[in-house]
Amino acid sequence: MEVIYTLIPGMIFFGLVFVGVLFWAIRKGQYDDLEGDAHRILLDEDGNPAEGTDKAKRVGLNYPDQDD
């Protein structure tokens, strides 16, 4: 029974930490674009082989691996 006096405050602490992380993620914009990755995976990033090795820049889309 004594262990419950440690577990309850510990779970409340971890719950508050998780709520804090959730609010931090919302404030940093992690949930702003929920469908962008779902549509981005369907795009063909290989391009046309006749274009050469340079990647064509796609305006308006955010690609983290795109060279600027």
Measured CA to CA in angstroms, residue 45 lies from 22, 35, 49 at distances of 32, 18, 11
Find, among 41, 50, 66, the residue nearest to 58 by Cα.
66
Residue 67 contacts residue 55 (beta carbons within 8 Å): yes
Question: What pTM does this model have?
Answer: 0.50
Report residue 48 as tokens.
């046309």
Separation of first and last alpha carbons in the chain: 61
Give me 56's structure tokens. 């064509």
One pLDDT digit (tens) per residue for the chain, 68 residues: 889 999 999 999 999 999 999 999 999 988 888 788 777 777 776 655 555 444 555 555 566 665 55
